[in-house]
């Protein structure tokens, strides 16, 4: 136990300043939390679905939880149930085998909801494209609000994308459309 406490004390707090959502300026954590509260009236909860990715994007989404990015410290939480989620974060080209599960996950989320497609595959199908087994980009299967490009996008870009999507939702407060 002593060893653990010593290590915690020695390493201190490693969390770095979060990125500004649209420009390159850095802001304090507090402002992001305030914005989230203003826009959503609560912390942001995210349900993540891998719809067929190579797992590269998942590794970087995982990294958001490490002490450097400390996403939970910003008031953003990954949740287990879509019924608790404000945002759906989707990776991969959508495999045909996952299309239905992805649609059902979205349907299970309460309105209003945001959908962010992650990675080059999520944005345009990436190197896998469309085929007998792949539906390609996420927006071919469910409506998408924002795409975070990259292969995979670095954690900072992911964070920027998530914050931009939330921001945009304030800029256009109209209820989200549900294109078929």
Q: Which residues of the chain form contacts with another protein (CB under 8 A)?
A: 3-4, 7-8, 11, 14, 48-63, 65-68, 78, 80-82, 92-93, 95-101, 105, 126-129, 131-134, 151-152, 154
Smaller CB distance to another protein: residue 35 or 137?
137
Smaller CB distance to another protein: residue 35 or 49?
49
Q: CA 92: distance to chain centroid? A: 13
Q: Distance (Å, rounded) from C-alpha 146 to C-alpha 166?
A: 10
Instruction: Say how many C-beta atoms besides its own lie within 10 A of residue 101's C-beta.
Output: 13
Q: Distance (Å, rounded) from C-alpha 74 to C-alpha 138?
A: 27
Taking the complex as a whole, the smallest distance from the CB of residue 120 to another protein amounts, in Å, to 10
For 109, the enclosing helix (H) or strand (E) is none
Q: Distance (Å, rounded) from C-alpha 135 to C-alpha 138?
A: 8
Taking the complex as a whole, the smallest distance from the CB of residue 157 to another protein amounts, in Å, to 11
Residues whose CB falls within 8 Å of the CB of residue 174, separated by 6 or more in sequence, listed in order: none
Smaller CB distance to another protein: residue 121 or 165?
121
Smaller CB distance to another protein: residue 81 or 178?
81
Taking the complex as a whole, the smallest distance from the CB of residue 171 to another protein amounts, in Å, to 28
Taking the complex as a whole, the smallest distance from the CB of residue 53 to another protein amounts, in Å, to 7
């Amino acid at each position: 136990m002593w060893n653990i406490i010593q290590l915690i004390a020695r390493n201190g707090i490693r969390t770095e300043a979060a990125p500004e959502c649209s420009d390159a300026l850095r802001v304090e954590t507090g402002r992001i939390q305030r914005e989230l509260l203003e826009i959503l009236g609560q912390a942001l909860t995210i349900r993540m679905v891998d719809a067929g990715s190579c797992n590269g994007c998942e590794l970087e989404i995982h990294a958001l939880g490490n002490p450097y990015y400390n996403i939970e410290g910003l008031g953003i939480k990954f949740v287990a149930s879509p019924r608790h989620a404000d945002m759906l974060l989707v990776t991969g080209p959508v495999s045909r085998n996952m299309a239905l599960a992805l649609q059902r996950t979205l349907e299970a989320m309460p309105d209003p909801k945001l959908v962010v497609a992650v990675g080059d595959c999520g944005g345009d199908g990436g190197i896998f494209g469309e085929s007998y087994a792949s539906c390609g980009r996420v927006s071919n299967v469910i409506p998408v609000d924002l795409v975070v490009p990259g292969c995979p996008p670095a954690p900072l870009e992911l964070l920027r994308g998530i914050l931009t999507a939330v921001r945009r939702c304030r800029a256009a407060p109209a209820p989200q459309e549900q294109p078929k």
